[in-house]
Homo-oligomer: A and B are copies of this chain.
Amino acid sequence: MSVVTELSPVGDDVHLGELGEHAILEHILRPRYGGVRGFGDDCAVLDAEEGLLGELVATTDSCPTPLVTSLGETDPYHAGWLLATINLSDLAAAGATPLGLVVNYTLPKTTTAGEFRRLLDGVDDCAKTHGTKVVGGDLRDGPVRQLTATAIGRCVPGGRLGRAGAAAGDRLLLVGSPGYLWAYALLVEEQARLPEAIVAGIRERAFRPMAQVAAGKALAAAGLARAAMDVSDGLFPTVRTLCGANGLGARIRTDIHLDNAPAEVCAQAGLGRFELAQAWGDWTLVVAVRPEDVELARKVLTEEGVAAQEIGILAPREEGISLDDGEKTEPWNGIAQERFSPSSWHGGDLPKLITEVLGRRAS
């Protein structure tokens, strides 16, 4: 009954867990949906005759167990905030203005009203921070908490950002401030110590990360971004995906700037700044910008109050993806979790996570 004809080397009997996310995408989803506008981008594009209003986009993501749960924080507020952030971050990568969120919650019957309210508080506060709100949703009981949302937004005419559209020579900007989430994890693990007020500041940034919605919109409206993707799974998979979508390689600098507080955590923990900067959880964006537009892009972002730094350059595909420490370049085989694989993120033991995500032995 299927209307789709597929040519795929993947037989029907193989388990998805044997394939892994990449092979599922390439061999099952691309043959079926590869022709859909926006396939492979953070956001889907809706079929609508928008004319002068600009394109409508939508994205959906479930909220994993927040890392903060492993850091001793059980308040469902943070899961709610994260759920909204994850989805709004995809709109940011499309350069879209949010029109609303619809939410879908499965909750155990033993959830208390207070826990439910805290969850809603987290979603609502995050949405409000980005000038949008929850417009509808669905709620049902089930054995395990499962939080899903869909964010819908609109791009300015001709201004939708996707993963493709960049060229060799484009600079890569990292938009936002990396390192806070895993700096806090290192503090919890007592691999660093800082004054209470500074810890509280790191904790606040770690627990309520900011999706770069305003930044994405500003860059798209100004026509300054050629391609964009959010750092949802870490810097390496983001750069690798952007390179793949554009048939390019990249040279990434290891001297990524960290704010003072996470930099100090790094120093105390004996960790390179790049190791912290390349981790996920801060909902930064990677944006490809023409060399001649870099200064203007940084100016636009400064006006939005958003930090941005040049972290590298897109290169011909033959050069592959490499790290440049200022003296030499080496191939970068970074850390990437993959769904439907043993590395798929489902929370877990903190020292082990630190090893996996930061690429170092836990002490």
Contact = CB atoms under 8 A, between A and B. Distances in A.
Interface of A is mostly: mixed
A68 to B, nearest CB: 15
A358 B150 CA distance: 35
Nearest to A2: B121
Q: How many copies does the complex hold?
A: 2
A58 B102 contact: yes
Nearest to A135: B44
Given A3-B128, A17-B109, A109-B340, A137 B48 contact: no
Interface in A1-30: 1-4, 6, 10-17, 19, 21, 24, 28-29
A46 B124 contact: no
B60 A103 contact: yes
Contacts of A28: 113, 116-117, 120
B112 A46 contact: no
A111 interface: yes
A46 B100 contact: yes
A246 interface: no
Interface in A121-140: 121, 124-125, 128, 132-140
A59 interface: yes
B56 A56 contact: yes
